[in-house]
Amino acid sequence: MNLKELSNLLGLSQTTVSRALNGYPEVSEATRKRVAEFAEKMNYQPNPNAQRLAMGKSLTIGHVVPVADHDMINPHFTDFIAGAGEVYNRRGYDMLISVVNADEQVKTYMDLVRNKRVDGVIVHGPTNDDERIAILNEMGLPFVVHGRTNDPDDSYSWVDVNNEESFREATEYLLSLGHRRIGLINGWEHMTFAAKRRSGFEAALRSHNVEPDENLMISREMIEPNGHAAMCQFMESGRPPTAVLCSSILTAMGALRALRERDLTPGKDISVIGFDDCLSFLPSTGEDGSLTALRSGIRLAGKHCADILIDQIENDTGNRGLLLQAEMTIGASTGKAREPAPA
């Protein structure tokens, strides 16, 4: 059933039917109702490809997902698209996912826009100097960044979490417990969020006259095995830290595993704080309170990104930035430092 057939059956022109269906003001209430009811009865649905071609719009949002290491998708992505997908569904958009090698990213964006494949994109995993911001702005493709870059905050839309501040806060907390040798198991620091976290971490240390120690800062992909390896490296070094900050719940899990293997008790022998993105398939740190954590749900970030992007596409609302607050919950994995703090 297409528009032509439908309008023939109704004895109206395609134009009128189209207008009635799309809520144009000039069509009479009577015909609008008649058309709507008949379309419903005939189970008519417009062909999106034709619509897209005619309007030059795609009603689709693109996600370009770089695969790191040739074969891994960031597990946080699942929760992000759960949030975003819900919004797309509600607002009538499709989600198009391109899984590409990291070095094909820009090309993929350009193809998407040239081909009018999407009306906007979500930018994942922004780096400090991310070339994509300038390129997308130049192309005029609406986009929202999940995270931030070094570009001015008002030169693009973004949804981010208070990385610097929350890590400063967490570090301050550890310092207040008497810890002076504090380790950081971070994500890749060319990613802005990780760089910011390190900044907050170092700032807190310096404000307490503790010089950051390169040997206590490790930067890796945030997966469980890397958290484990990093903690092992710490423990096997001559002077292990008395507390460790992990940038992800996954690395925190790995770190805790390394402690267990050594029969060390978190919160007693060594303190651990993790950043918890509230991944839905993992235990929520809030429930049993076993882990002291900074928490901010990544699914929520997905929702906000989607809503901001669609607002921007449909209503030309300008650039918008949204800073989510990660909150610290004190659990059992942190405690007073055993080593006396150096004078």
Partner DNA sequence: TTGTAAGCGTTATCAA
Partner DNA sequence: TTGATAACGCTTACAA
| Shortest Å distance, C-beta 12 to a second copy | 22
- Interaction pattern, residues 11-50, with DNA; x per rule: CB under 7 A: xxxxxx-xx-xx---xxxxxx------------xxxx--x
**Which DSSP symbol is given to 263?**
T
- How many chain residues interact with DNA (CB under 7 A)? 29
18 binds, among a second copy, DNA, none (CB under 5 to 8 A by kind): DNA
Of 26 and 211, the one with the shorter C-beta distance to DNA is: 26
Give me 317's structure tokens: 């609302």
262 binds, among DNA, a second copy, none (CB under 5 to 8 A by kind): none
| Shortest Å distance, C-beta 45 to DNA | 7
Of 36, 82, 328, 341, the one binding a second copy by CB under 8 A: 82
Contact 313, 120 (CB under 8 A): yes
Angle between helices 14-21 and 3-10 (to 10 degrees): 100
3-state secondary structure of 239: coil
3-state secondary structure of 285: helix
- Interaction pattern, residues 211-230, with a second copy; x per rule: CB under 8 A: ------------xxx--x--
Helix (H) and strand (E) counts in the chain = 13, 12
Contact 340, 182 (CB under 8 A): no
Contact 332, 286 (CB under 8 A): no
280 near a second copy, judged by CB under 8 A: yes
- How far apart CA 19 and CA 28 sit, in angstroms, is 10
14 near a second copy, judged by CB under 8 A: no
Only segment of 63-71, 172-180, 235-243, 334-342 that touches a second copy (CB under 8 A) = 63-71
Q: How many CB atoms lie within 10 A of CB 294?
A: 27
Which residues in this chain contact DNA in the complex, by CB under 7 A? Answer: 2-4, 11-16, 18-19, 21-22, 26-31, 44-47, 50-51, 53-56
